[in-house]
Amino acid sequence: MMLLKALRSSGASRSVLLVRFASSVRSAGKFDYDLVVLGGGSAGLACAKEAVEFGARVLCFDFVKPTPAGTKWGVGGTCVNVGCIPKKLMHQASLLGEAVHEAVAYGWNVNDRDIKPDWKKLIKVVQNHIKSVNWVTRVDLRDKNVEYVNSIGSFVDPHTIEYKEKHGEKKQLTAKYVVVAVGGRPRYPPIKGAIEHGITSDDIFSYEKEPGRTLVVGAGYVGLECACFLKGLGYDPTVMVRSIVLRGFDRQMSEFLAAMMTERGITFLNTTIPKEVERNTDGKLLVKYHNTTTNTDGSDVFDTVLWAIGRKGLIEDLNLGAAGVQTHNDKIIADHTEATSVPHIFAVGDIIYGRPELTPVAILSGRLLARRLFAGSTQLMDYTDVATTVFTPLEYSCVGMSEEMAIERLGAENIEVFHGYYKPTEFFIPQKSVRHCYLKAVAEVSGDQKILGLHYIGPVAGEVIQGFAAALKSGLTVKTLLNTVGIHPTTAEEFTRLSITKRSGVDPTPASCCS
């Protein structure tokens, strides 16, 4: 009866309902489950919860191996436990420290001298929030009748999954469909002392010891975000950069971001790679490194070393070979339908080779896959023009093509870049630097000038770009953008004022905010 009720609630026609019901009855006799999901992160949970809405019998496996530093967490995956959520909370904490000084400028009677956060209290409240989300997630799975097993599931054959129960006994079950959504974990460099003495983003949000002087190795968005919230909280981070900051992002915007961080007192060790980490007798960490540009060696002492050199897919325990699933390095190869080399085995989220490693992408792709498998949908995930944000003090958000990508695909003569600096109104009284408040629109040069990419550095960048992302996916043009009345005074309205092109050579610095 539950199955029929779920099928009816899907809104499908009577004939389609009967076909689905008959199919489910047939699979009920052949397999233990309609769907087994390997991984309890954003992608896996979204797919599992969506599938049960259409009457599927679903089981989800999830297990977190402790980090070398001993950190472990509950259900919900990277985003909830050691990613987006705690990162945003730490980002907010660092911004509030800055806001205390701004409050004085605005007339508040606040003593802003020698203020510093209580690191242990901050970690405690962040972890308390995460644990509450873990609990809500478990309750939600129970209420939706998704079976949850805290164990690693691995393939025995294309339809059979093996796992260990808590007391160590091995069990097996079968599934009509299997979705692999195990995600990834941070990498460690293959150097002496890296694992013994270093931590990663898996550890920093529950790290009981104050980080102090911290070496952040890696200049992707994770490394830059960690360095920035540590600086905002009063610590002393240094960023070690192997080649360039924010590889894969727009180069001009990435360099602006690095310059903003330098202006705020964050040190960069450019074109430098770590060689060894050892612990001194006083407990501090001696890091030896090599500069690949000058071909010279150096060393320095830090309290904490945080590795942010990329992530690896967690495929080693899945026994994918037994199922015939093809991989590329540590990721799974999947087609435009998320199907792997085995038609009834799918992959969603960060484990797919060549797809954006972003939580909203994982969630939507998981839901859409469930609808195709159990609700007769034909809608595919659109991986183009996905917006994203780097949560640094001045945030960087973008959607669509970088300037380099547009030039590569269309040719420099076929694109126009509209750009401008701007001055957030709220920055004037506390005299905050506006040097790196900048935005641009990358567009086609002809016709109504379809916009190919939007880029913004400034306050609450994610909030600004989210709405523009929907407009860009709907075919936004420069003509429409400039015919849109802005909300004044906001920083988002600066996109409606973009009239100066790079090609013109005119200075894009505004003379006035209101004319």
Catalytic residues: 488
| HSE-CB for 369 with a 13 A CA cutoff | 33
Q: Is 222 annotated as a binding residue?
A: yes
Q: Is 376 annotated as a binding residue?
A: no
Q: Residue 425 in contact with residue 487, Cβ under 8 Å?
A: no
Q: How far apart are CA 120 and CA 205, in angstroms?
A: 10
Q: Is 114 annotated as a binding residue?
A: no
SS3 387: coil
Q: Residue 22 in contact with residue 4, Cβ under 8 Å?
A: no
Q: In sequence order, what E strands does 126-250 have?
A: 147-149, 154-157, 160-164, 170-180, 184-186, 199-200, 213-217, 236-240
For 433, the token pair is 């630097």
How far, CA to CA in Å, does 189 sit from each of 222, 277, 307? 16, 11, 8
Q: Is 282 annotated as a binding residue?
A: no
Rounded to the nearest 10°, the torsion over CA 494, 498, 502, 506 is: -90
For 434, the token pair is 């506006």
Q: How far apart are CA 55 and CA 31, in angstroms?
A: 15
SS3 152: coil
**Maximum Cα–Cα distance across the chain:** 75
Q: Is 103 annotated as a binding residue?
A: no
Q: How far apart are CA 53 and CA 50, in angstroms?
A: 5
Q: Is 72 annotated as a binding residue?
A: no
Q: Is 354 annotated as a binding residue?
A: no
Q: What is the per-residue DSSP string for 453-480? A: EEEEEETTHHHHHHHHHHHHHTT-BHHH
Q: Is 350 annotated as a binding residue?
A: yes
- CB within 8 Å of 459: residues ≥ 6 apart: 394, 395, 424, 426, 491
Residue positions counted in the chain = 515
How far, CA to CA in Å, does 74 sit from each of 64, 82, 84, 211, 335? 8, 10, 15, 24, 31
From the annotation, which residues make up the binding site for FAD? 88, 153, 350
From the annotation, which residues make up the binding site? 88, 153, 218-225, 310, 350
From the annotation, which residues make up the binding site for NAD(+)? 218-225, 310
